[in-house]
């Protein structure tokens, strides 16, 4: 088949060059394939200049594709060889299939096993990329996460050599629903999506990026309403699509559900939208559901402050630098910083003043109050961090003292052991020396010269004993110093 195709190509190229030389075919054209046959593209005005079969023409009608008579038989041969090739392929596949058929169940089992291995390997590789771990799994509905991060945002910022700000978030029996408020672009939606994605990941058996002392429970249902889902086909506006979701949530949520709702109640007239959102929030709370909800509405902040089971959260904002901190603070509502942001953008001051008059002093004062709370909270958080660092420093000092005491005690034991061994050795030598002295005196019958030698020997031995006693006193002094060092370290800790 290959040799036949090459032969046709040579013949066709020769015909093409001749036609180009005679001006029947343009210089830049080349043979092409139509219906499985090699043809030459020719201008319609010259199609009778080349003998052959017209197989096709272009959509514009400016080109016809002719199979020269010289290569018709060769093209027919190619079609025959291609048919033979297809039949041979089918035969090989049939034989191979017949060979594999008895092992089909084993192959399917191996396929499923390899798929599981590939999935596990993929999970492990992804966990290494995002720093994922297995948190403590609890039997109760619970989210108690320390330094949780959105994995996709983490990878994106990592490519830019930027650090992500982690989130500490807790949902438990007494604080099941978290209402997050704060400025636009302050991280509310990212926090919401982080909770949804990580919870779904861990329930699918994936490791998630947070600290090892984090805890997580399992929810039977996760209800999500994020983004714009308006539909022209179904005649649904943005607000209508949100209400359809809320209708489904209200009918199906229960104590084992997790609700994730972004910009709760938005998309319609603020007053009625806020009222409907508050009524739904009350219903979700009565049904003991868990959830994370983002909003700008003041009435939802008040609701969270006044009802058990619901808690406020704020995305912190630095109003001096006029930029978001992307940190979640649970316990107090957040300000939208609308006036400050408008002033930063450069909106005329008279417009800002007029807007402040429209909303009234109570609203402005409430917003400033929330800003002051956020500022004070950041201040005390910094103080807490300073105290924590000082406590860690004191722990390090205490650890050094304890390590030093251990070394001193170890050395003391070694010195005492050596002294005890030396004393025992000297005692044995003294006994032997005394016995030898007594024996020599008896044998010499107390001769003066011999007695003098014995006295000198005993005097030398006495000096050795006194030196050993001095060593023992030094050991006792070291023992007192060690005890004093221990007392000092205890008082410092």
pLDDT tens digit sequence for 191-239: 999 999 999 999 999 999 999 999 999 999 999 998 755 444 444 567 7
- Ranges assigned E (strand) in 160-306: 167-171, 175-181, 215-216, 221-225, 257-261, 290-294
CB atoms within 10 A of CB 54: 16
State yes or no: pLDDT of 387 exceeds 60.
yes
The mean of the pLDDT values for the chain is 81
In angstroms, the CA 411 to CA 165 distance is 49
> What number of H helices and E strands is found in the chain?
12, 14
The helix or strand, by DSSP H or E, that contains position 426, with its residue range, turns out to be: helix 361-444
Q: What predicted TM-score, i.e. pTM, was given to this entire model?
A: 0.59
- State residue 23 phi and psi, 5-degree precision: 85, 10
What are the tens digits of pLDDT across the range 424-481? 777 677 767 766 766 766 666 555 565 666 666 656 666 665 566 555 556 555 555 5
Highest average pLDDT, of 15-29, 197-211, 236-250, comes from 197-211
Q: Can you tell me whether residue 77 is helix, strand or coil? A: helix
Q: What pLDDT is attached to residue 462?
A: 60
The residue ranking higher by pLDDT, 261 or 454, is 261
* Per-residue pLDDT tens over the stretch 43-65: 777 777 777 777 777 777 778 88
pLDDT of residue 485 exceeding 60: no
What's the pLDDT at 489?
47
Residue 163: which pLDDT band, with cuts at 50, 70 and 90?
Answer: very high
Give the model's pLDDT for residue 379: 66
Question: Is pLDDT of 364 > 60?
Answer: no
Tokens of 53: 């079969």
Higher pLDDT, 294 or 240: 294
Q: Is the pLDDT of residue 127 over 90?
A: yes
Q: Which of 489, 336, 469, 465 is nearest to 399 (CA)?
A: 489
Percent of the chain with pLDDT over 90: 37
């Amino acid at each position: 088949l290959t040799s036949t195709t090459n032969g046709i190509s040579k013949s066709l190229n020769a015909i093409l060059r001749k036609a180009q030389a005679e001006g029947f075919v343009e210089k830049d054209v080349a043979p092409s394939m139509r219906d499985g046959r090699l043809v030459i593209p020719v201008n319609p005005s010259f199609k009778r200049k080349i003998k052959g079969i017209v197989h096709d023409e272009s959509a514009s009608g400016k080109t016809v594709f002719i199979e020269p008579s010289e290569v018709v038989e060769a093209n027919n041969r190619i079609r025959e060889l291609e048919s033979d090739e297809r039949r041979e392929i089918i035969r090989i596949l049939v034989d191979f299939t017949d060979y594999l058929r008895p092992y089909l169940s084993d192959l399917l089992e191996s396929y499923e096993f390899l798929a599981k291995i590939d999935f596990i390997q993929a999970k492990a590789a992804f966990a290494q990329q995002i720093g994922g771990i297995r948190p403590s799994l609890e039997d109760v509905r619970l989210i108690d996460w320390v330094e949780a991060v959105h994995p996709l945002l983490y990878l994106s910022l990592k490519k830019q050599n930027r650090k992500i700000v982690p989130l500490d978030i807790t949902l438990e029996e007494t604080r099941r629903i978290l209402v997050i408020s704060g400025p636009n672009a302050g991280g509310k939606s990212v926090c919401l999506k982080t909770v949804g994605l990580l919870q779904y990941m861990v329930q699918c058996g994936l490791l998630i990026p947070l600290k090892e002392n984090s805890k997580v429970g399992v929810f039977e249902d996760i209800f999500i309403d994020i983004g714009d889902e308006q539909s022209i086909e179904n005649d649904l506006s943005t607000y209508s699509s949100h209400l359809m979701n809320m209708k489904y949530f209200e009918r199906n949520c229960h104590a084992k559900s997790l609700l994730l709702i972004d910009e709760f109640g938005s998309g319609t007239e603020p007053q009625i939208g806020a009222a409907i959102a508050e009524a739904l929030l009350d219903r979700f709370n009565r049904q003991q559901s868990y959830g994370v909800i983002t909003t700008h509405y003041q009435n939802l902040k008040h609701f969270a402050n006044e009802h058990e089971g619901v808690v406020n959260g704020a995305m912190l904002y630095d109003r001096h630098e006029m930029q978001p901190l992307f940190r979640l603070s649970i316990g107090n509502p957040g300000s939208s910083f609308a006036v400050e942001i408008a002033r930063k953008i450069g909106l005329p001051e008279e417009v800002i003043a007029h807007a402040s008059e429209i909303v009234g002093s109570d609203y402005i004062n409430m917003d400033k109050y929330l800003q002051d709370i956020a500022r004070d909270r950041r201040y005390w958080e910094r103080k807490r961090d300073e105290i924590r660092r000082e406590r860690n420093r004191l722990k390090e000092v205490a650890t050094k003292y304890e390590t030093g005491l251990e070394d001193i005690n170890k050395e003391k034991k070694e010195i005492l052991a050596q002294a005890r061994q030396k004393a025992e050795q000297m005692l044995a030598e003294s006994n032997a020396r005394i016995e030898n002295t007594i024996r020599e005196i008896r044998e010499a019958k107390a001769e003066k010269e011999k007695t003098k030698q014995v006295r000198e020997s005993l005097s030398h031995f006495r000096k050795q004993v006194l030196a050993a006693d001095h060593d023992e006193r030094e050991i006792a002094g070291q023992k007192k110093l060690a005890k004093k060092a221990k007392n000092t370290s205890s008082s410092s800790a």
